[in-house]
Structures are given as structure tokens and as C-alpha cells.
Amino acid sequence: ASDGTTTVDPRVPVVDISALPPVSVPVLRSMELAREHGPAFLQRLHGREMLLVSSLELVEELADEERFTKAIGPALQNVREFTGDGLFTAYNDEPNWARAHDILMPAFALGSMRTYHPVMLKVARRLIEAWDRRSAAGLTVDVPGDMTRMTLDTIGLAGFGFDFGSFERDEPHPFVEAMVRCLDWAMTRQTRNPELDHSERDAAFRRDADYLAGVVDEVIAARVASGAETGPAEDLLGLMLGAVHPVDGTRLDIENIRNQVITFLIAGHETTSGALSFALHYLAKHPAELRRVQQEVDALWGDQADPDPSYEDVGRLRHTRQVLNEALRLWPTAPQFSREAREETLLGGRIPVRPGLPIFVLTTMLHRDPAWGDNPELFDPSRFDPEREAARSPHAFEPFGTGERACIGRQFALHEATMLLGMLVHRYRLIDHCDYRLTLKQTLTIKPDGFTLALAPRTPAP
Ligand code: HEM
């Protein structure tokens, strides 16, 4: 159409949400709209359009990399204001994406987790010390808050040798507070009324973004000054400073490295901490599942007071891993990802889509597709039994996105989260002291809001 909007098949619902009041958890509204308008509808917001897609059938088509690719839609363009050409927000055809991807891929292969394992364990023990202290004093624990401390310290140390020391602080590290405000700016900027003045918020955002860049520049400068970048690449920063591209021999430039560090700090902690928090929530609510996970860890670590999980142990925690998967099915903590057509085409044989139209996959709805059976709201880790998994489309479960732009940190997240979850259920009884009712908090990623647990040491199994 001449006004820049899409000509849609009349059977595709068009929903203009510009007049609706802004909501604090956009994913819930998208889910509601999808329930009302079906597996594909065109959403308009202040003249901008995006297609929202929920069904497995359509997502399988969108996963075809010949026809579709990652879109940097409005939300990611906003994040790009502070992560630039880092992996997550780089355009597909930007040379720095492929360069960084090729250089960093080996650092994220499953085998590389052996390198990060000791650091992950060290930080897991910081969390356990903090939880022991609180439970001994009869205090409850702030689950999402402490999971975020744990994942941030882990990616800081494993990635860049930078210690946020989060467990020694009552308030989050200022870096985290600035990062959360930047993410909030990126999320709410999309829904702004264009007629109002937003310059004050934009200036505050700019200050936060400059602060993030400043902190990271100091970390990089310290590493360069130490001369360590010429040594073996024992963490991501060392790798980025030292590595040359395997084929063309180029290196990452300093500005790109800064963008990658900010990207990894953001992408590498909020999502994993949310996944752990949801998993603990479901375990606290499902004693039979909790018992099953406890049996698994007891079989490995018996009644040792302080087990020393090995790298191999983490691979043996199959049921623990299924619990995490099931938590990520119900609440994929990066609740959507976007695609766009490489050329004009018909999605599902009926919906005209063109390059430039962002197509959002509502992962929360995909994960409730009829392919999951009659009771998709039910927490049931046996959905991830190997036989049942093999019988399902690989695209029915996409918490890490799809294609070559899928999550590079998947193994990192799963190793870190599986180990910690195993250690926690081995050590504590999880007491749902306030009969917590799940509510979500969204800052692009989602997590349980205000979720606390009381803890008690487990008595050794008879
Ligand atoms: C990309 C989810 C943990 C680094 C993605 C994407 C998703 C995702 C859905 C694709 C986004 C898109 O298509 O636009 C998750 C979840 C995690 C997790 C649910 C935890 C449970 C991590 C960790 C790291 C990480 C621990 C780093 C250590 C990245 C990066 C990208 C990415 C760099 C961009 C990859 C590229 O485009 O080349 N993640 N992630 N993520 N993730 Fe993760």
C-alpha cells in the first residue's frame, strides 16, 4: 500500500494497540491478543507494524533460513543504541557479525564448558554461602535477586576476569542498575506516544549507556596494559583480544570488543537467572518433581555436606536438566525473537510478508501449541524424556531462538544453571513460606516478581 503499511490477506486480523494503555508486562498482553486473534495477526503501534506468530506450523516455516532470517526489529534497534554491532544486535550482513561469530563459536562449544566449570562452581558456592547465612538467621531469600547476582558474577569472571562481587552488596552493582535502566528504556521506547517530549529520559539513557561503555573500556584497558592478551585465551576477553579469524586473518576492533562485552554481560545473565528462578518456583510447587531431582543428586553426591560437582557430573543431571527445560518451555525468559522474509513471500501460503516487516515469534505461545498435548499449562518435566522429545518437531521448543543467529551461550547457560540447581536441591528444603502466586516482571526478559523462599538444611536421606 502507498502509505507504507502492508496489504494483508483479509483473513489475517489487524490489531491496533496504539490507543491501549501501556502495560508493564507486554508479553502477557501479546499472549492475550494471540489467544483472541489466533496464530498470526498484524499488530499496529503508532503506525508501525509487526506480525505476531504463535503456531508450530508457522514457526517451522519461519525457521527455514533460505526464506527467512533474523530481523533487527524496533526493540533490538533500541538495544543497539548501547550494544552496537555486538553479536546480538548486529545486522545479518554486517561483516563484524560473521567475524565475531566465527572467532567466538569455539569458546561456546560444549567442550569449552570445561574451562568455565571451576569459575561457575566458585560463584555457585558464593550463593550457597549467602543462603546458608540467611537461612541460619531465619531469613528468607530473594530468589530472582540472588540468581541475578550469581549469573552476573559468573559471566563477569568467566568472560572478562571482572568480579562484580555481587554477594557483598545489598544493592545491585551500579553497572547492573544502569543496564536494567537501559533495557527498560529500550523496551518502553517502542510504546511511546510520539507526541510527547521524551528528551529527559533520552538524556538519562545516554548517561547510563556512556557509563556502561566507560566501565567496560576500563576492563579492556586493564587487560591490554597487563599484556595478558598475547597469552593463552583463558576467557572471552582474552580470546577476543588475541584471536585472528580462522580464514581471513582479521581481528576484532576495540570498539566491537566493547560492544561484545556489554552484549555478553546483558545476554549472559538476565535470561539464565530468570530460568533458574522459574525452575525453583516450579520445584517448590511440585514436591513429587522436587523429590525426583533430589534422588538424582543424592545418587551422585550422597549425603556429602559440600559435594564437589565435576564437569562430568553436570552431564549426568538429566532430570535436573529436564526441569530447567520445562521451566523454559512455560516461561522462555527471552519470550520472543524476530524474523523477516528474505524476499516477498506468502507465510502459511496465505499471509503476504516482505523484507522489513518484523515477524515476532511469541515463544510462550509456541510452547503452548497443541503439539504439547491437552494441558500445556501443566508443569511436567517428563515432556523432555528422550523418547517424547524425539517424537516432537525440533521447532516446538525454541527458548534459544533458531538458525545461525540462535543463542551462542546456550551450553554456557545450561551448564551453569543445571549445576547450581542440582547443588541447591541437594542442600536445601525449599519452603514456599508465603504460598507464592506467580507474577511476572519484564525488562525485555521475564522473571518471577517478588519470589522468596524459606530454606532449611536437608537431613541426609535414610
Ligand atoms: C541470542 C535466549 C543465555 C549470549 C539469543 C537468542 C535467544 C536467547 C532467544 C536469539 C535472539 C534472536 O533471535 O534475536 C537465551 C536464554 C538464555 C541465554 C533463554 C538462558 C537460559 C545466554 C548466555 C549467553 C548468551 C549465558 C552468553 C554467555 C547470546 C548472544 C546471542 C544470543 C551473544 C546473539 C547471537 C547471535 O546473534 O549471533 N539468546 N540466551 N545467551 N545469546 Fe542467549
3-state SS, the chain, equals CCCCCCCCCCCCCEEECCCCCCCCCHHHHHHHHHHHHCCEEEEEECCEEEEEECCHHHHHHHCCCCCEEECCCHHHHHHHHHHCCCCCCCCCCCHHHHHHHHHHHHHHCHHHHHHHHHHHHHHHHHHHHHHHHHHHCCCCEEHHHHHHHHHHHHHHHHHHCCCCCHHHCCCCCHHHHHHHHHHHHHHHHCCCCCCCCCHHHHHHHHHHHHHHHHHHHHHHHHHHHHCHHHCCCCCHHHHHHHCCCCCCCCCCCHHHHHHHHHHHHHHCCHHHHHHHHHHHHHHHHCHHHHHHHHHHHHHHHCCCCCCCCCHHHHHHCHHHHHHHHHHHHHCCCCCEEEEEECCCEEECCCEEECCCCCEEEEHHHHCCCHHHCCCCCCCCHHHHCHHHHHCCCHHHCCCCCCHHHCCCCHHHHHHHHHHHHHHHHHHEEEECCCCCCCCEEEECEEEECCCEEEEEECCCCC
Q: Is 267 in the pocket of ligand 1 (CB under 6 A)?
A: yes
The residue whose CB lies within 8 Å of the most ligand 1 atoms, and thus the one to mutate among 260, 271, 278, 411, is 271
Give catalytic residue positions.
Answer: 271, 400, 407
CA 362: distance to chain centroid?
Answer: 14
Q: Is 412 in the pocket of ligand 1 (CB under 6 A)?
A: yes
Question: For residue 425, which of 299, 243, 260, 252 has the smallest C-alpha distance?
Answer: 299
The residue whose CB lies within 8 Å of the most ligand 1 atoms, and thus the one to mutate among 264, 400, 444, is 400
**Helices 410-427 and 270-285 sit at what angle, rounded to 10 degrees?**
40
Q: Is 275 in the pocket of ligand 1 (CB under 6 A)?
A: yes
Are 418 and 321 in contact by the 8 Å Cβ rule? The answer is yes
Nearest CA to ligand 1 atom 34: 88
Q: How many CB atoms lie within 10 A of CB 431?
A: 13
Ligand 1 centre to CA of 400 (Å) is: 6
The residue whose CB lies within 8 Å of the most ligand 1 atoms, and thus the one to mutate among 407, 414, 443, is 407
Ligand 1 centre to CA of 286 (Å) is: 28
Q: Is 101 in the pocket of ligand 1 (CB under 6 A)?
A: yes
Ligand 1 centre to CA of 437 (Å) is: 28
Q: How many CB atoms lie within 10 A of CB 148?
A: 23
Q: Is 381 in the pocket of ligand 1 (CB under 6 A)?
A: no
Q: Is 337 in the pocket of ligand 1 (CB under 6 A)?
A: yes
Ligand 1 centre to CA of 409 (Å) is: 6
Ligand 1 centre to CA of 410 (Å) is: 7
Ligand 1 centre to CA of 447 (Å) is: 16
Q: Which atom of ligand 1 is nearest to the CA of 97?
A: 38
Q: Is 379 in the pocket of ligand 1 (CB under 6 A)?
A: no
Q: Is 400 in the pocket of ligand 1 (CB under 6 A)?
A: yes
The pLDDT score that the predictor gives to residue 462 is 42
CA separation, residue 100 to residues 76, 85, 408 (Å) = 18, 10, 11
What is the CA angle 347-352-354, rounded to 5? Answer: 95
Q: Which atom of ligand 1 is nearest to the CA of 402?
A: 13
Q: Which atom of ligand 1 is nearest to the CA of 269?
A: 26
Q: Give the span between the Cα atoms of 128 and 133, in whole angstroms.
A: 9
**From first to last of its 462 residues, what are the pLDDT tens digits of the chain?**
445 555 566 679 999 998 888 888 999 999 999 999 999 999 998 888 999 999 999 999 999 999 999 999 888 999 999 999 999 999 999 999 999 999 899 888 888 889 899 999 999 999 999 999 999 999 999 999 999 999 999 999 998 888 999 999 888 889 989 998 998 898 888 777 778 888 889 999 999 999 999 999 998 998 888 876 554 467 888 888 887 888 888 889 999 999 999 999 988 888 999 999 999 999 999 999 999 999 999 999 998 989 999 999 999 999 999 999 999 999 999 999 999 999 999 999 999 999 999 999 999 999 999 999 999 999 999 999 999 999 999 999 999 999 999 999 999 999 999 999 999 999 999 999 999 999 999 988 999 999 999 999 997 544
Ligand 1 centre to CA of 4 (Å) is: 32
End-to-end CA distance of the chain: 72
Q: Which atom of ligand 1 is nearest to the CA of 363?
A: 9
